[in-house]
Chains A and B, each alone.
Chain A
């Protein structure tokens, strides 16, 4: 039997959704109000079962958790048995009865687990930020696209914007080119600004933790408890601090509203204390990200007391019909609203993509990574959104695709 015709659970769900195998489904009316047919219940497993666990997986709808996986056995509720408790995500992904992988590892692992899950035909719910560096996002988006699985990032504010009349109008004006020069517009995306420690000496690795596997693709550095289990996000090797952590929540909805899901900023201008420590994430004030059409999105941190305030002559935050001429307003009125965004659960069941899909998530992360690179360089950087490379600054460009620790690679 060829791979194409292998009767996977995913294909079964898609097929039943299309109605061609409806006779295999127990209809809802047979089960009674509020009951979900077993065939519509998605099975899922959590990779990275520490603090966050499966908090965001509600978007999958009817679901059943069948396993957890973590490199710290304290997080899996007992000894690993490769049935319900795993320490290696690769063994978990071998399961044929698994529909969805919920990825809640530290971000330096997100891309590799996403890619492996896609290749195994599993649908993906991935906590934000999607990636640790820019090239990872391209690889994830390509892997998801190639596998035809659904992907949802763990932030949902764009669903609200897509139902908001002002945001929908703004989206349509830009998406359909009714206004091409957006240089008079500035949007603001807020993030927190916690910092890492610069005095992490070596400590004994706890017996419950497989530190080598926890590090995975990240450079080896001697263990210190501050590096792992949540505070990892304040060290450059594992995440980009709160700028990518909370920035993902605020940047994602703006990116949709301004129809930028398929492109990236062309310039990042930072304002932050310099230098940043090579290991620990430091403070920042703001980063101005500019798109090719002139739109500026300013990511603000708020943690840098006494830093320069962001100043701009741009007055507008959004566009509306009032900004168009008569012909533009006429055209806007004739344009259909965007297709409603599918929830992750509906995307899985219908074999389509959800609202927070891999390409848009990659573009959100790209913008935030560019902001961090500019902060670390202490200078303005320029980016080619098609080649996905920083131009004219070889050193900054080396942070776009960071070599991984073997055997891990994109």
Chain B
């Protein structure tokens, strides 16, 4: 483990500082989280936990959201890429659908075209089709439209409505 990697105890100590009471402190928290790299992203996802809305998942959720926002600030391309790439991989891990929905909503904020294929794998899920589609629409671009168009023939019922509407929206842009 390198010295910037975070342990659950490190993160528990950081959670006590959330939310920061000024932007200098907020910047320090952002830097600390980003410095933890992909392992910290994965650890935070696991700490959010599979149960939707559980009280002990609130601070990890806040911290992961903070990391997503901080790493996506203007001019922070490399940091954002690590966070988004790691979150995209988490979509294929053994997590509850609600946890994956939360991760997908973070990708709605920080994802880019290269994250679309990972998100698009959720389009076949009745629960996750909606957040996945919204994230893909938010990312936009050619890869997004193509992924939705490819998923459309395999979709049915509400998923078909969701994906088809998204294709129309992206085509109209």
Which residue numbers of A lie inside 8 Å of B, CB to CB? 198-202, 219-222, 224, 273-279, 282, 306-308, 376-379, 392-395, 398, 402-407, 409
Q: 15 A-B residue contacts at CB 8 Å?
A: A199-B53, A201-B52, A202-B53, A219-B130, A220-B130, A222-B98, A274-B20, A277-B65, A376-B69, A394-B74, A395-B69, A395-B73, A402-B134, A405-B134, A409-B169
Residues in chain A near residue B165, CB distance under 8 A: 406-407, 409
- In the assembled complex, the CB of B58 is this many whole angstroms from the nearest CB of chain A, namely 4
DSSP class of B's interface residues: helix, strand, loop or mixed? helix
Contact A308 B138 (CB under 8 A): no
- In the assembled complex, the CB of A407 is this many whole angstroms from the nearest CB of chain B, namely 5
Contacts A273-B20, A275-B18 known; 15 new A-B pairs at CB < 8 A: A200-B53, A222-B53, A224-B53, A274-B66, A275-B65, A277-B61, A279-B61, A306-B21, A378-B26, A378-B70, A379-B23, A395-B69, A395-B73, A402-B138, A406-B165
Contact B161 A407 (CB under 8 A): yes
Contact A201 B53 (CB under 8 A): yes
Contact A222 B52 (CB under 8 A): yes
Contact of A275 among B69, B133, B162 (CB under 8 A): B69
Contact A403 B138 (CB under 8 A): yes
Residues in chain B near residue A201, CB distance under 8 A: 51-54
Residues in chain B near residue A198, CB distance under 8 A: 55, 58, 61-62
Contact B55 A406 (CB under 8 A): no
Chain A residue nearest in CB terms to B108:
A398
Number of chain B residues close to chain A: CB under 8 A: 44
- In the assembled complex, the CB of A200 is this many whole angstroms from the nearest CB of chain B, namely 4
Contact B53 A277 (CB under 8 A): no
Residues in chain B near residue A199, CB distance under 8 A: 53-55, 58
Chain A residue nearest in CB terms to B102:
A278
Contact B74 A398 (CB under 8 A): no
Q: Give residues of chain B (22-45) contacting chain A, Cβ–Cβ below 8 Å.
A: 22-23, 26
Residues in chain A near residue B20, CB distance under 8 A: 273-275
Contact B161 A274 (CB under 8 A): no
Contact B130 A406 (CB under 8 A): yes
Residues in chain B near residue A406, CB distance under 8 A: 130, 133, 158, 161-162, 165-166
Separation of A330 and B127 alpha carbons in the complex (Å): 67
Chain B residue nearest in CB terms to A221:
B52
Judge if B137 is at the interface, Cβ distance under 8 Å.
yes
Separation of A278 and B63 alpha carbons in the complex (Å): 10
Residues in chain B near residue A306, CB distance under 8 A: 21
**Which of A276, A394, A402, A409: most chain B Cβ within 10 A?**
A394
Contact of A219 among B54, B61, B66, B105 (CB under 8 A): B105
Contact of B21 among A220, A276, A307 (CB under 8 A): A307
Chain B residue nearest in CB terms to A378:
B26
Separation of A220 and B105 alpha carbons in the complex (Å): 11
Contact of B169 among A221, A274, A398, A403 (CB under 8 A): A403
Contact A282 B19 (CB under 8 A): yes
Separation of A406 and B133 alpha carbons in the complex (Å): 10
**Which of B73, B106, B133: most chain A Cβ within 10 A?**
B73
